[in-house]
Amino acid sequence: MYKLKYTLGSVVKYVSLLLGLFAALIPIAVVFFASFKTSSEYKSSGPLTPPENWTNFENYTRAFVEGNMMVGFVNTTIILLVSIVGATLTGSMIAFVLNRFKFRGSNLLMGAFLLATLIPAVTTQVATFQIIEGLGLFNTRGAAIILYMSTDIIAVYIFLQFMDSISVSLDESAMLDGASYVTIFRKIILPLLKPAIVTVIIVKGVNVYNDFYTPFLYMPKKELHVISTALFTFKGPYGSQWEVICAGIMIAIIPTLIAFISLQKHIYNGMAGSVK
Amino acid sequence: MFKFSNLSYDAQRRVIIILFSIVPVALLITFAYIPVANMFYYSFTDWNGFSDKEFVGFENYLTIFTDPEYFVVFKVSLYYFFATFVQMGLALYFATILSFNVRFKNFFKGVLFFPYLLNGVAIGFMFLFFFRPEGTLDTVLNTLGLGEFIQLWLGNPDIINISLAGTSIWRYMGFNFIIFLGAISSIPKDVYEAAEIDGANKWHQFRYIILPSIRRIIQLNLILAISGALSSFEIPYIMTAGANGSKTFVIQTVDIAFKYGKVGLGSAMAVVLMIIVIVVTLIQKKFFKED
């Protein structure tokens, strides 16, 4: 009897896992199938039918060239690199000051950073837009870079949390050896912050790569398209050529898949750690 | 020659404090506080983005709260709000079973989490493809012999928000899942062993060990769900641009401010949304303090 109940439990468990698996994969798999189909094959076959020829890369070439995806990748890469380096540097620097020094106004400063987490970024775009325009950054990569760097209070948070676990006595013993604060920051704090930096890079990377709102609003110029906005332009003119759009979707997804597979462990730790 | 390390520690301290905080603080003020202040100011004007600003008092707010066209969008939020319960239920279920012995555990974890990492535009297109007439969903239903349930998933105003909220579940379930997984894994293993010795079955373990241990995380997620539901934008915007009654509050705000150039009115809408979200967040913080 016990045995029977146990097996039944297992069956329910695995069936539900398989259902979850299909629900997660089918929308991606059908896009993957369609991306290899020729136009006539696409029209004549159902979405669940695999393509006849798995090496038909014509749709990929078309999506990549006509969809301006090369420009998208270049812009996304530039913006990613600069804003990640920027957010890591500014985030760790302010966290160092807030965590290690007590001074007049330090509580106020801390409060200002905490309070800012309350402001939902999505609501202030109307006013932020005027500032970006006033700074002459509208339709430049600078707009996205400066916005990704400045709104990153989460990075500051993650650094503050890690900094707490780095003992102050390390700083003190370095000071006995005559190390300057800059040396302490560079040679002691930054290396010990490595797990936090990896977390910030991943969380930030995911956000920046997938963000649509910021580039759509602040960099509408064609030469400044990122992956998201380049893909979005398929919407009108390619409305009936789903096989090309599907190739475009896959082009946007493949880098994520590679990054996910190679960084899996760090991603799990980072995601779980960043909300605690 | 000047060397930084020759300065006294007290002088170093001053220099570091100023040098290290000047950029982050400038960014914080420019992109967090000034926009909020300006937004309040614009919300009392009839500004269109270029003209002179004329002060109109509470007129914009009056428009939002009296004209049903503006208020109806909150109804759409309800769909996303209820969807979050489904999303969290699924996340909790999968997180619980994958915390115990399961074959191919890491593979399942990866697959369930992966959608969360995908590009928003790619997901939007993927589900346009999924919901098309004779698209993936229709084909699956036909294969299962459920063809009679086929609908115009994105063409029928009664169903469109369910389809879109479903897409939202697909996209964000992995996030809740990974958070729950992390929370459950922090429960010491010997607690389960002790419970098993006392004769507790899996359901008892879930009900009396797991659920209480991750109560806070569930609460947090629930309240984040409200602000998430209010500020949903990407999926409906990319998929339908707000057509067929799928307009959310943020789509409405963006349209009003950027498409129709009514920055004053758009700002007032943004202020309303911000206040609701802040109130929700404060309630959540209070919850956490009392625990």
pLDDT single digits (tens) A255-268: 999 999 998 888 87
| pTM score of the predicted model | 0.89
Confidence band (pLDDT; 50, 70, 90) for A4? low
Write down the pLDDT at residue A27: 93
- Which among B24, B109, B126 has the least Cβ separation from residue A90? B24
* Tens-place pLDDT, residues A96-137: 999 988 888 889 998 898 888 778 777 888 889 999 999 999
Cα angle, residue B197 at apex, residues B193 and B203 outer, rounded to 5°: 75
Write down the pLDDT at residue B172: 92
**Which chain A residues have a beta carbon less than 8 Å from that of B117?**
206, 210, 256, 259-260, 267
Place of tokens 């066209």: B69
Write down the pLDDT at residue B57: 86
- Which among A175, A228, A271 has the least Cβ separation from residue B9? A175
Kindly determine whether residue A47 and residue B129, on different chains, have CB atoms separated by under 8 Å: yes
Confidence band (pLDDT; 50, 70, 90) for A84? very high
Instruction: Please provide the average confidence, as pLDDT, over all residues in chain A.
Output: 88
Size of interface A-B (CB pairs under 8 A): 252
- Which among A21, A178, A212 has the least Cβ separation from residue B238? A212
Mean pLDDT of A234-238: 77
* Tens-place pLDDT, residues A199-232: 889 888 988 999 998 999 999 999 999 999 999 9
**pLDDT beyond 80 at A2:** no
DSSP chain A: -HHHHHHHHHHHHHHHHHHHHHHHHHHHHHHHHHHTS-HHHHHHS-TTSPPS-TT--HHHHHHHHHTTHHHHHHHHHHHHHHHHHHHHHHHHHHHHHHHH---TTHHHHHHHHHHHTTS-GGGSHHHHHHHHHHTT-TTSHHHHHHHHHHT-HHHHHHHHHHHHTS-HHHHHHHHHTT--HHHIIIIIIHHHTHHHHHHHHHHHHHHHHH--HHHHHH--SGGG--HHHHHHTTTTTTTT-HHHHHHHHHHHHHHHHHHHHHHHHHHHHHHHHHH-
Q: Per the structure block, which two tokens stand in for B263?
A: 């920055």
- Which among B126, B234, B267 has the least Cβ separation from residue A126? B267
Write down the pLDDT at residue A247: 93
Q: Does the A69-229+248-274 domain belong in CATH 2.60.40.1220?
A: no
Give the separation between CA A248 and CA A229, rounded to whole angstroms. Answer: 12
How many other CB atoms are found less than 10 A from the CB of residue B54? 10
A83 touches chain B (CB under 8 A): no
Write down the pLDDT at residue B192: 84
**Which chain A residues have a beta carbon less than 8 Å from that of B28?**
112-113, 116, 150
CA distance A212 to chain B (A): 7
CA distance B62 to chain A (A): 19
Q: Does the B60-288 domain belong in CATH 1.10.3720.10?
A: yes
Give the separation between CA B172 and CA B156, rounded to whole angstroms. Answer: 24
Mean pLDDT of A141-146: 94
Mean pLDDT of A9-33: 91
Share of chain A above pLDDT 90, in %: 48
Kindly determine whether residue B32 and residue A34, on different chains, have CB atoms separated by under 8 Å: no
Write down the pLDDT at residue A271: 67
Kindly determine whether residue B238 and residue A232, on different chains, have CB atoms separated by under 8 Å: yes
Write down the pLDDT at residue B7: 81
**Which chain A residues have a beta carbon less than 8 Å from that of B232?**
none
Mean pLDDT of A5-22: 86
Write down the pLDDT at residue A216: 92
Return per-residue pLDDT of chain B as tens, 291 residues: 677 777 888 888 888 899 899 999 999 999 999 999 999 999 999 988 788 888 888 889 998 889 888 888 888 889 999 999 999 999 999 999 998 888 888 899 999 999 999 999 999 999 999 998 888 888 888 888 887 888 888 888 888 999 999 999 999 999 899 989 888 888 888 888 888 888 888 888 888 888 888 888 888 788 777 878 888 888 999 999 888 888 898 898 888 888 888 899 999 999 998 898 888 888 877 776 655
Mean pLDDT of A56-75: 91
Confidence band (pLDDT; 50, 70, 90) for A138? very high
Confidence band (pLDDT; 50, 70, 90) for A276? very low
